[in-house]
Structure 1
Amino acid sequence: MALSSVSTPSGGQIVRINHHPLPAGSINCQYTLSSFHYGTAGGRKIYLQAGLHADEVPGVLVLHHLRAMLEQAEAEGKLRAEIVVVPIANPIGLSQTFMHDQLGRFDFATGANFNRHYPDLAERLLPLVRSTLTNDAAHNQRVIRAAMAQLLDAEKMNTPLEAMRVALMRLAHDAEIVIDLHCDFESVLHIYTAADYQEQAEKLGRYMEAEVILVADVLGGACFDEMLFKPWLYLQKQLGHQFPIPPSCFATTIELRGETDVSHQYALKDAHAIYHFLCSQGAILQEAPSLPSAKCKPTPTPGSATIYAPEAGVLVFFGKPGDRVKQGDVVCEIINPISGAVQRIVSPVDGVMYTHRNLRYATRGMELAKVAGAVAIRSGDLLGA
């Protein structure tokens, strides 16, 4: 159950704040999600969140600056959609510190990745909506979103983490645009999206100056954004020959460079880019700036090659994220300081090395870097741990 409050920013416009208490995992230990609501509910809806992996902070600062822009837009009567902002999407992970290190990717209690195992509603929706769909696409959108809410309300929530997953999906399930802000170890800005939404992703990518856009309809692991766009793709495939079911949830993940790329300069730039994208989508009544030139062409997520450490040792990278590499180019060296052995690690594909590890000592089997190639080379779970 959400608890509501209101806030009056300096501009005098009232912002609705909902607090969503999660069930206590232990006595007197309870976490709360807070959502900020701009514009009028009941029509178009946009949803943005940050910090789902709680030690990934760049997006939290971006939403801090974006909220000020949204407050101003609302005060000027420019909003044409409800815009929901959750600046801290994972209070559980935010509290996790071990030996002075913040660890917000995996739940201490269960070991689960905070961005995996979200409720998969796709197949369960089919019997709920089949008999009530018509030739009216807008009606079908309403029916499907109502059925999603019904399933989420009935979802089991045995742990605080399960309750948090459901609460986040409940906030986002009826949004036409969902933006989940993350970051990587050391990285250039890159975006994950589904093929049906590639056009919107390319426009977003141009505003964000993304250097890589990764496209796949199936990612694996039941991550947050996939579980929001998957129902529409599934129902369109199953029933689209009978009823109009348009793609109705552009859910995307933006990786905002690296973990330490937290600055007002970056955050303001990214907040303005997201704001301009929302203007271009008609959610804000303001002319969007001309689209910047694209910095990349989309590539398949299955074409992303992960490079692993074959041995342990000191890790020395030869390039930086954003570099273009050819198959066989040396990406890094692993040096054994005992034997003196030096092992050169090469790229398995042509493409952009868009992220690499922020540690400089590699253990055997550790992920070292990722290269976005143009040809699919993988299947199954594309995201890993």
Structure 2
Amino acid sequence: MTKTTNRIALLSPSPGTQRHLLVHRYGRPGARPKAYLQASIHADETPAMLVAHHLMHLLDEADAKGAITGEILLVPVANPIGLSQTLNDHLLGRHEASGGGNFNRSWPDLYPTLPDRIAGKLGPDAARNVELVRAALREIVAELTPSSEFSSLRLALASFAVDADIVLDMHCDDEALMHLYSIPQHWPSASDLSAEIGSRATLLSEDSGGNAFDETFSNPWIRLAAAVPAGIPIPPACLSGTIEYRGQADTGDEINRPDAEALFRFLQRRGLIAGDPGPLPRPLCEATRLDATEVLRTPVAGIVCYRKALGDRVAKGEVIAEILDPLAQGPSPARLALEAGTDGLILTRRQHKMVRPGDCVAKIVGTEPLASRRGYLLQD
């Protein structure tokens, strides 16, 4: 058995209070490939934690058989801070209540000092370059100093993931189909992940603008590759992505154990676990650009009345939903129609149907980049 479980203390936010992370490690430390998986950095996104729970048991079984051939780190609860934030019986796990913002935004930028740290060391050997870059990235993270409970959480998680070959950040959306976020440089190499998890939309963006967790570890490689001279190979050596396990209500053993089994097979295909994963499932989508996905927002407050279901294919101009004003005096002024701005697939909808101006009502996955989708591509 190779499994070890470490308990990592976070900075105490107040006297008498301290939270911890658990990280399960499988395989020989330093073995390659290395995979890092974490669940629910948005602490109210429960399906991801249940997927991690079932994956842990599958990894335990594989470890007992001596089948772990790489190194696997699994953090089943990535955000104990968010799990503690409840108000009037509602878990508020997306934003840090002390003013730290979205738990999955503004992660440290590891690139600025990277070129200077490896100046004069890189050469024509891609594998050697990867080793040098990983060592430098480890140094960068090790030199960061936490100043709060939240920053200590970030630095602990970053230290686990920074030198991994594979980084998977497990989330869910509000009401959604299964989908995956990655970068263009990992397509089609990540097509096995997309097919294995049954992704209905795989959305690619080199920089979505929010310094999300997954891009913290993929972007330094892309930026460095663009900066070095020709003849210095820098491969995109960290396959990092965010998996959205449908919607918040899609939580249950019957749903999430098969999700864990799919991740297990993916790790087998990538050489981290011995055994035959079987044939790769038929892909359910082709990858598309994230800036081709419309975020349909309401300009007014009211009640969302949907006219289209998840998975529906729609054409530009079709009515997706109506916003009902419950104070309107008659039926005509009571409803405002919201139309699709692109042809595409209804990927997400809103679980809570009372909305305010600017709220996202749906995401529509199209194939053509949209003028409205420039710069910051994420939702806060």
- TM normalised by structure 1 equals 0.95
Deviations 1:78-133 (A, max 9, x none): 11111000000011001100111000000000141000111111121010012222
Contact 1:225 1:253 in 2 (8 A): yes
Three-state SS of the structure 1 residue aligned to 2:337 is strand
- Cα distance in 1 for residues equivalent to 2:312 and 2:113: 44
- Structure 1 240/384 Cα, relative in aligned 2: closer, same or farther at 3 Å? farther
The one-letter code matched in structure 1 to 2:376 is D
What's 1:297 paired with? 286
What's 2:378 paired with? 383
- Cα distance in 2 for residues equivalent to 1:98 and 1:78: 44
- Cα distance in 2 for residues equivalent to 1:338 and 1:71: 57
- Structure 1 residue 384 displacement after superposition: 2.4
Q: Is 2:67 the partner of 1:78?
A: yes
What's 2:54 paired with? 65
- 1:123 counterpart (112, 125, 135): 112
Three-state SS of the structure 1 residue aligned to 2:296 is strand
- Cα distance in 2 for residues equivalent to 1:81 and 1:323: 40
Q: Is 2:232 the partner of 1:243?
A: yes
Three-state SS of the structure 2 residue aligned to 1:78 is coil
- Cα distance in 1 for residues equivalent to 2:15 and 2:218: 37
- Cα distance in 1 for residues equivalent to 2:229 and 2:52: 36
Deviates more, 1:341-350 or 1:13-22: 13-22
The one-letter code matched in structure 1 to 2:357 is R
Three-state SS of the structure 1 residue aligned to 2:102 is coil
What's 1:350 paired with? 343
- Cα distance in 1 for residues equivalent to 2:230 and 2:176: 42
- Structure 1 residue 242 displacement after superposition: 3.7
Contact 2:2 2:63 in 1 (8 A): no
- Structure 1 residue 283 displacement after superposition: 1.2
Three-state SS of the structure 2 residue aligned to 1:122 is coil
Q: Is 2:262 the partner of 1:273?
A: yes
- Cα distance in 2 for residues equivalent to 1:90 and 1:364: 30
What's 1:174 paired with? 163
How many residue pairs match? The answer is 373
Q: Is 2:44 the partner of 1:43?
A: no
- Cα distance in 2 for residues equivalent to 1:239 and 1:286: 39
- Cα distance in 1 for residues equivalent to 2:104 and 2:13: 19
What's 2:172 paired with? 183
- 1:16 counterpart (4, 11, 21): 4
Deviates more, 1:99-108 or 1:231-240: 231-240
Q: Which 4+ runs in 1 deviate beyond 3 A?
A: none
- Structure 1 residue 374 displacement after superposition: 0.4
Taking only the aligned residue pairs, the percentage that are identical comes to: 36
Three-state SS of the structure 2 residue aligned to 1:226 is helix
- 1:91 counterpart (55, 80, 91): 80
- Structure 1 residue 203 displacement after superposition: 1.2
- Cα distance in 2 for residues equivalent to 1:320 and 1:29: 45
- Cα distance in 2 for residues equivalent to 1:86 and 1:96: 19
What's 2:367 paired with? 374
- Structure 1 residue 156 displacement after superposition: 3.2
The one-letter code matched in structure 1 to 2:363 is K
What's 2:198 paired with? 209
- Structure 1 residue 240 displacement after superposition: 5.5
- Cα distance in 2 for residues equivalent to 1:279 and 1:321: 31
What's 1:164 paired with? 153
- 1:30 counterpart (1, 15, 18): 18
- Structure 1 residue 29 displacement after superposition: 1.5
Deviates more, 1:161-170 or 1:98-107: 161-170
- Structure 1 110/72 Cα, relative in aligned 2: closer, same or farther at 3 Å? same
Q: Give the superposed CA RMSD.
A: 1.2
Deviations 1:62-90 (A, max 9, x none): 11111111111111121111100000001
- 2:355 counterpart (342, 358, 362): 362
Three-state SS of the structure 2 residue aligned to 1:170 is helix
The equivalences for 1:327-338 within 5 A come to 327-338=316-327
- Cα distance in 2 for residues equivalent to 1:106 and 1:173: 23
- TM normalised by structure 2 equals 0.96
What's 1:317 paired with? 306
Unaligned runs of 5+ in 2: none
Unaligned runs of 5+ in 1: 1-12
- Structure 1 residue 14 displacement after superposition: 5.1
- 1:147 counterpart (132, 136, 141): 136
- Cα distance in 2 for residues equivalent to 1:327 and 1:17: 51
Three-state SS of the structure 1 residue aligned to 2:235 is coil
The one-letter code matched in structure 1 to 2:221 is W
Contact 1:118 1:166 in 2 (8 A): no
